[in-house]
Amino acid sequence: MSRIVVVGSGIVGLAVAARLARRGDQVVVLEKEDDIALHQTGRNSGVIHSGLYYAPGSLKARLSAAGARSIRAYAQEHGITTVPTGKLVVATDAQQLPGLRRLAERAAQNGVAATTLTPAEAREHEPHVACVAALHVPSTGIVDYVGVCRALVREVEAADGELRLSEAFVSARPEGTGVVVETSRGTVRADALVNCAGLQSDRVAQASGLEPEARIVPFRGEYFELVPERSYLVNGLIYPVPDPRFPFLGVHLTKTTEGGVHAGPNAVLALAREGYRWRTVDVHDVVDSLSWPGLWRLGVKNVVPGAKEVLRSVSRRTFAASLAELVPAVRVQDLVPAPAGVRAQAMKRDGSMVDDFLVQRAPRQVHVLNAPSPAATASLEIAAHLEREVDAVLA
């Protein structure tokens, strides 16, 4: 039995904590907030991704396809709401057809069942959609990720693990064959540390003596909801054909587990890592982002699409127009603001986004340095991967 400190009570931290607790390790989860899942995990689209988009053989492709199955099974076993909605990716003009074809090929490479549909066939699933062709992915669904997190906490506590809320990780250093962790409340000695701090993961790594090869750049995603009387416009999930230059999927319409319809998210550079509104500015975070050369390189390459995202952020009308490309009946007056999320996207010095999940080891330490979407879907499989990493640093 080992004593393991896990930093962060998002779904990745809790999934690995529960996995280690189940096998008998003594687990302490540190969470700086006064509740679990207050950042990415509690502010996402709630989608169980099927593994459609990701480079074949990548961790994302492998862990999300398996993760979609395991998270659905976990939700069913623990009485958490999950709905097998299926999803349509829609090409709204002929120029998008090659992109849709590439996606169909990738689905085949990743072993994800997907059928190309005519507009009439697409409307059998989503009567209000507009398209020239669509890809139907039946295995995509939705789940209550915060409900999953609460079940994971129950497992940790049932195995005598501890969740310490309002206790922040401050630093870590090696000591003998273990690690000493300083927190906002004191000192914790452990055999190993697992960093699952999401938006703060590069800082937690640095405060543990590691120089991460990539930095977190925060991208805020704003959401709206369809007013309840218009939620009949969407049955399941409707996505655009993604722009292959970006790691984000484009604004989409998703049914929620409460029966509403979420619209979004867009992607704008956030002025604070945990900044959920335009007016939230953290000078330290802004300086950090701007002093990373990669961000400038990305900005120069993407002036036009970046400006479009900003416009969509400040103008509800432009946001509605993007949604109306998918479902023409959506009007600006159908949208009411919903809470935003911020994605932790790791970026290299040269401006390239780290596409795959990224885990880095140090003596007695395992750091999750990039766990963007679909990490919620893949969380139980990421936990299995991290368990092997923990065993490697304990050996």
Ligand X SMILES: Cc1cc2nc3c(=O)[nH]c(=O)nc-3n(C[C@H](O)[C@H](O)[C@H](O)COP(=O)(O)OP(=O)(O)OC[C@H]3O[C@@H](n4cnc5c(N)ncnc54)[C@H](O)[C@@H]3O)c2cc1C
| Footprint of ligand X (CB under 6 A) | 7-13, 30-33, 37-41, 43-47, 49, 168-169, 196-200, 204, 221, 265, 341-343, 371-377
Of 133 and 149, CB closest to ligand X: 149
Residue with the two structure tokens 């304990």: 394
Of 212 and 374, CB closest to ligand X: 374
CA gap 295, 304 in Å, rounded: 15
Of 10 and 275, CB closest to ligand X: 10
**Which residues does 122 contact at the CB level (< 8 Å), separation at least 6?**
88, 90, 129, 131, 133, 134, 136
Of 28 and 30, CB closest to ligand X: 30
Cβ-contact 19, 115 below 8 angstroms: no
Type of residue numbered 381: E
Using CA atoms of 348, 354, 357, 360 in order, give the dihedral in degrees to the nearest 10: -20
- Bridge partner residues of 362 (DSSP): 365
Cβ 145 to ligand X, closest distance in Å?
7
Cβ 305 to ligand X, closest distance in Å?
18
Cβ 377 to ligand X, closest distance in Å?
4
Using CA atoms of 293, 294, 298, 300 in order, give the dihedral in degrees to the nearest 10: 20
Cβ 281 to ligand X, closest distance in Å?
19
Of 235 and 254, CB closest to ligand X: 254
CA gap 21, 220 in Å, rounded: 33
Query: Phi-psi bin for 91: left (phi > 0), alpha (psi -120 to 50), beta?
Result: beta
Residue with the two structure tokens 């405060």: 207
Q: Which residue is nearest to ligand X (CB)?
A: 10
Of 116 and 365, CB closest to ligand X: 365
Query: Phi-psi bin for 361: left (phi > 0), alpha (psi -120 to 50), beta?
Result: beta
Cβ 40 to ligand X, closest distance in Å?
3
Cβ 119 to ligand X, closest distance in Å?
26
